Amino acid sequence: MVDRSRRLIAVYPVAVDTLVAVALLIVGEAAVLGARGALHGTSTAIEVVLVAAAIAVRRPAPVAAAGLVLATVVFDRATGGGLGRTGVGWAAVVLVGYSAGAHAGRREGPVALGLLLASMTIVYVDLLGEKGTAPSEWLWELAFATAPYAVGRMLRARRRLHAELEDRALALAHERAQREHLAVGVERARIARELHDVAAHSLSVMVVQAGAARSVLDAAPDAAAEALEAIAMTGRYTMADLGRLLGFLTTEDTSSLGGISRIGDLVAQARQAGLPTEVRITGTARQLPSDVDLAAYRIVQEGLTNALKHAGGASTQVLVAYDDAAVRIEVVDDGHSRIRHPLASSGAGQGLQGMRERVAMAGGELSAGRGPDGGWAVVARLPVRQEAGTATEEPAKVTV
């Protein structure tokens, strides 16, 4: 019931105030009529109307309402009316005082309170002539106007705080939604990048092997069988990589997706596809951070895929060079293509863009372009944090 009343007041404040004013007007005028002239009927009836008007406008115009109360008190004292004995005047002081505290602005509120205090002071001064009136009565009169104002002010501050908290909660919810949307986009890009790297390399190898098998199927069935077996092996590798990728989506462990220790598998696949590939590792090997290790692996994978697609049969060199602060990855072909790959004209640079994103996330540098021998060179430098791992005594070995 209380909540329903609050909602009604919040939706129809002016209508509710008008009903309250009408109710007090009826009560006041009934008191005047019932007194049979003892309350100076005409003047008191006018005062009741003025007080009712003050109550009706107390919410939208609290200063004007307080001014009406003051004018009514002055008129009542001047005409000797009996507004105080109707009870309507005291109700008006309470309601207008509360509205001044709850709805008036920072400047208007004190002004309205001052007008009400002036009204109560006039009442006290008028009562000084009566027997038994003491100075403490004045404090009571002032408190009668100040207490409702203080309560209204307190509730106003509470409402403002509640509104600020609601606005802050909405802002935080909006910010959280934006962060979640951004995180989803980043995650989608990462999954797409991993899928591209896994699928592009494997499919390139399988297409080359399928073409080779078809070309020698009649003349050299054994060679065709070897090519088909290579396709099957590459498919198994791809299924294993996809399984590791699905596992990564649930565990966030990038170490299972690949690293420098698995470069030998990439080189073996490239050689089986007809790409002469050599691997060289220099410097003192160390345990790399998982993101750097995966980035190095993917760079080699994408570099060999590009060499296979665009420089099929060209001699390709893979270099992994460690130094104190970084690891350097190079994939360079000599440009002497001997095989035209069926997918040589496909793609729109997604692989190169993926490499750039990986290197950027690792805080490194990447360059890709024509080398001095006319071939294509991909060179990446990935910084290695000192605390990421400890140096080992033996250089890394790649088994092919």
Domain count, the chain: 2
- Are residues 227 and 342 part of one domain? yes
Distances (CA, A) of 27 to 19, 52, 57, 124: 12, 10, 19, 25
Q: How far apart are CA 72 and CA 66, in angstroms?
A: 10
Does residue 185 form part of some domain?
Answer: yes
Most confident of 67-81, 210-224, 247-261: 67-81
Does residue 144 form part of some domain?
Answer: no
Please, what is the Cα angle at 123 between 119 and 126, to 5 degrees?
135
User: In the numeric block, which tokens belong to residue 6?
Assistant: 């609050």
- Are residues 185 and 122 part of one domain? no
Q: Which amino acid is at 203?
A: L
Q: What is the pLDDT of residues 92-117, one digit of tens each?
A: 888 888 888 888 888 888 998 888 88
Residues facing 339 on adjacent strands: 312
More reliable by pLDDT, 149 or 243: 149
Q: What is the pLDDT of residue 145?
A: 85
Q: What is the pLDDT of residues 126-154, one digit of tens each?
A: 766 555 556 667 777 788 888 999 999 99
Does residue 193 form part of some domain?
Answer: yes
- Are residues 225 and 88 part of one domain? no
CATH code of 363's domain: 3.30.565.10
- Are residues 87 and 8 part of one domain? yes
User: In the numeric block, which tokens belong to residue 117?
Assistant: 């205090």
Is 150:101 a contact under the CB 8 Å cutoff? yes
User: In the numeric block, which tokens belong to residue 115?
Assistant: 């007008």
Does residue 128 form part of some domain?
Answer: yes
Q: What is the pLDDT of residue 179?
A: 86
Is 123:101 a contact under the CB 8 Å cutoff? no
Is 123:138 a contact under the CB 8 Å cutoff? no
Q: Average pLDDT for residues 45-61, to the nearest whole number?
A: 85
Is 234:206 a contact under the CB 8 Å cutoff? yes
Q: How many residues does the chain have?
A: 400
Please, what is the Cα angle at 20 between 145 and 39, to 5 degrees?
70
> Among 77, 98, 133, which residue terminates a domain?
133
User: In the numeric block, which tokens belong to residue 234?
Assistant: 């590459």
User: In the numeric block, which tokens belong to residue 202?
Assistant: 């494997």
Does residue 165 form part of some domain?
Answer: no
- Are residues 195 and 118 part of one domain? no
The yes-or-no verdict on residue 55 having pLDDT over 80 is: yes
Q: How far apart are CA 114 and CA 96, in angstroms?
A: 12
- Are residues 189 and 100 part of one domain? no
> Among 73, 105, 133, which residue terminates a domain?
133
User: In the numeric block, which tokens belong to residue 157?
Assistant: 């501050």
Q: What is the pLDDT of residue 328?
A: 92
Does residue 357 form part of some domain?
Answer: yes
Q: How far apart are CA 254 and CA 236, in angstroms?
A: 20
Q: What is the pLDDT of residue 386?
A: 57
User: In the numeric block, which tokens belong to residue 286?
Assistant: 């160390």
- Are residues 182 and 49 part of one domain? no
> Among 79, 109, 133, which residue terminates a domain?
133
Is 234:205 a contact under the CB 8 Å cutoff? yes
Taking phi first (over 0 means left), then psi (-120 to 50 degrees means alpha), and beta for anything else, what does residue 138 get?
alpha
The DSSP string of 166-220 is HHHHHHHHHHHHHHHHHHHHHHHHHHHHHHHHHHHHHHHHHHHHHHHHHHTTTT-
Does residue 171 form part of some domain?
Answer: no
Q: What is the pLDDT of residues 185-234, one digit of tens each?
A: 776 776 776 676 666 667 667 776 677 677 777 777 777 777 777 777 77
Is 62:108 a contact under the CB 8 Å cutoff? yes
- Are residues 192 and 93 part of one domain? no
Spatial CB neighbours of 145, under 8 Å, sequence gap ≥ 6 = 93, 97, 113, 116, 117, 119, 120
- Are residues 129 and 208 part of one domain? no
What domain range is 99 assigned to?
2-133
- Are residues 231 and 380 part of one domain? yes
Does residue 166 form part of some domain?
Answer: no
- Are residues 97 and 7 part of one domain? yes
Spatial CB neighbours of 314, under 8 Å, sequence gap ≥ 6 = 275, 276, 307, 333, 334, 335, 336, 337, 338, 375
Q: What is the pLDDT of residue 189?
A: 72
Tally Cβ neighbours within 10 Å of residue 166. Answer: 10
The DSSP string of 77-143 is HHHT--HHHHSHHHHHHHHHHHHHHHHS-TTHHHHHHHHHHHHHHHHHHHHTTSTT--HHHHHHHHH
- Are residues 195 and 99 part of one domain? no
Tally Cβ neighbours within 10 Å of residue 143. Answer: 12
